[in-house]
Amino acid sequence: MKFTDEIRRRRTFGIISHPDAGKTTLTEKLLLFGGAIQEAGAVKSNKIKKGATSDFMEIERQRGISVATSVLAFEYQGTKINILDTPGHKDFAEDTFRTLTAVDSVIVVIDVAKGVEEQTEKLVSVCRMRNIPMIVFINKLDREGKDAFELLDEIEQKLGLKVVPLSFPIGMGYDFKGIYNIWEKNINLFSGDSRKNIEETIEISDLSSQQLNETIGDSAADTLREELELVEGIYPDFDNQAYKEGKLQPVFFGSALNNFGVRELLDCFIQIAPTPRPKESEERLVEPTEKDFTGFVFKIHANMDPKHRDRLAFIKIVSGTFERNVPYLHTRHKKKFKFSSPNAFFAEKKEIVDISYPGDIVGLHDTGNFKIGDTLTTGELLHYRGIPSFSPEHFRYINNADPMKSKQLAKGIDQLMDEGVAQLFTLELNGRKVIGTVGALQYEVIQYRLEHEYGAKCSYENLNVHKACWVDPRGSDEQEFADFKRVKNKFLATDKRGQLVFLADSSFSLQMTQQKYPTVKFHFTSEFE
């Protein structure tokens, strides 16, 4: 197959949702269509069980699953589909944000009864910022839920999306009869649990035909006609370009558990979803069709076996082909590396591959050379824009609890931060180290892993920080900046990349500081122009 055909047949996406909306179930049904798995229950949910925060077995189990489900690839009707796993648990939100830098589109799963939930809002806002094309799947139609129009309104308002329903439910919950597929112009009849994997599809080319009444009954047929008229009146026509630019979001309804509406979603997805997209680097925009390989690290996974401390770095291929045993330039180290066993991921297994194409993800064994955000190229000195860090929610001093093991501790902290487990800040005043995390769970993970993988012990001490703000001295008044640094010295730190960070202890003090030093710029993510 030609190189450009290989690119054209690839779809790399993530499924995002609030926990329990049905992401795992949907993933599994998608894999079933690809024939990638044989049975339900094969995709492990990587959810953190409630109350499991202190259960280290659970953390280990998690890490195992999260390697296994990092990338799930399968073939469907000539399309190569790569699903990137995005943890729904809020303590791992950063991991999800980073994964979103490697997807070309997303599917947002929403529970019909719960509507838009907190985690969905956060994740969708990140996708919106990046104009990532999104398809919405409203799940659990077999249950009583919100009225379809009400839900579509909620999605537009809370998520700031512009929706276009491409399917529409006929009834809901107990009265759920099926789905009218606006995209394909047919009806899928739902029949409870009797035929979980087979659906009856009835072509309805003319909505005014008697056939509709015969299929779903007079009253449901009338309601459907009215509702579809409303849909036509309220919502714009589907426009593929607008969808691809992130300006319009098609919506499907279904029930993942019953495998209902999933094939319709997938069939439409492979037609409309974008092929691997070009990516901005600091130097220039890189097109996937370029001959030379480029790619970047978006995830690093430590080995589960403490005896083998090597890690797996996940690379998204942006352009060209990635080949086994070919030396590639690590542009941060300005050094070439070659990889004898790059892993590709297929449903439940990983395999060594000789060649991978744009859109694909390869896992490279790494002994500590990679950091999240690193770029690999055939030879060009190119740097993909870093992956921004957001202000953590929790801050604690980390102390060495075993003076004999300070080297191990330093190394462990260093490597865990490279993996993106948490953020490290070093106080300007006294060099003390502060760990910032999105969720409290990470502190336990770090402590556990430092001990089991690096043989180091640590303890924590609370630190009252409201928000970390990255300080941009450029363009500030010199005297004012010097004053700021002197007066706020106690609250200043540097992050891992040496950028200056202001650890504001309250929103009030942050406001006051901004007012007092108006020329100094404060940013809430580590990336700014």
As annotated, the binding site for GTP includes 17-24, 85-89, 139-142
Tell me the Cα Rg of the chain: 25
The residue type found at 295 is: G
Q: Which is nearer to ligand GDP, 22 or 436 (CB)?
A: 22
Contact between 173 and 144 under an 8 Å Cβ cutoff? The reply is: yes
Nearest residue to 422 (alpha-carbon basis) of 455, 399, 444: 444
Q: Minimal distance in Å, beta carbon 83 to ligand GDP?
A: 12
CB of 366 to ligand GDP, least distance (A): 29
DSSP of 302-324, one letter per residue? E-SSTTS--EEEEEEEEES-EET
Tokens of 515: 């007012």
- What's the distance, Cα to Cα, between the start and end of the chain in Å? 41
Minimum gap (Å) between residue 23 Cβ and ligand GDP: 3
β-strands 467-472, 521-523: how paired? antiparallel
Give the residue with the Cβ less far from ligand GDP, 20 or 444.
Answer: 20
In terms of phi and psi (left: phi > 0; alpha: psi -120 to 50; beta: otherwise), the region of 476 is beta
- Our CB check for ligand GDP shows the closer of 22 and 169 to be 22
**CA dist., res. 241 & res. 247, Å (int):** 9
CB of 220 to ligand GDP, least distance (A): 20
Minimum CB separation from ligand GDP for residue 527, in Å? 29
DSSP assignment of 58-121: HHHHHHHHHHHTSEEEEEETTEEEEEEP---SGGGHHHHHHHTTS-SEEEEEEETTTBS-HHHH
Closer residue to ligand GDP, CB minimum distance, 88 or 388: 88
Closest CA to 135 of 41, 11, 37, 15: 15
Residue 136 or residue 422: which is nearer to ligand GDP going by CB? 136
Minimum distance between the CB of residue 430 and ligand GDP, rounded to whole angstroms? 43
Q: Quick one: 85 or 374, whose CB is closer to ligand GDP?
A: 85
Contacting residues for 93 by C-beta, under 8 A, at least 6 apart: 87, 119, 122, 123, 438, 439
Nearer to ligand GDP, 255 or 321 (CB): 255
Footprint of ligand GDP (CB under 6 A) = 17, 19-25, 45, 47, 88, 139-140, 142-143, 255-258
- The number of beta carbons lying within 10 Å of the beta carbon of residue 352 is 13
Minimum CB–partner distance for residue 102 and ligand GDP (Å): 20
Q: Quote the least distance from Cβ 122 to ligand GDP, whole Å.
A: 15
Quick one: 58 or 483, whose CB is closer to ligand GDP?
A: 58
| Of residues 44 and 457, the one with the C-beta less far from ligand GDP | 44
Contact 311, 366 (CB under 8 A): yes
In the complex, the smallest distance separating the C-beta of residue 391 from ligand GDP, rounded to whole angstroms, is: 26
Burial 369-402 (b: 16+ CB within 10 A, else e): bbbbbbbbbbebebebebbbbbbbbbbbebebee
Question: Of 144 and 206, which CB lies nearer to ligand GDP in the complex structure?
Answer: 144
In the annotated binding site, the residues are 17-24, 85-89, 139-142
CA distance 351 to 73: 11
Which residue in 413, 311, 319 sits closest to 369, CA to CA? 311
Closest separation in Å from C-beta 139 to ligand GDP: 5
CA 461 to chain centre: 31
Bridge partners, 84 (sequence order): 14, 71
List alpha helices for 370-405, DSSP H: none
Distance of alpha carbon 348 from alpha carbon 342, whole angstroms: 16
CB 163 within 8 A of CB 251: yes
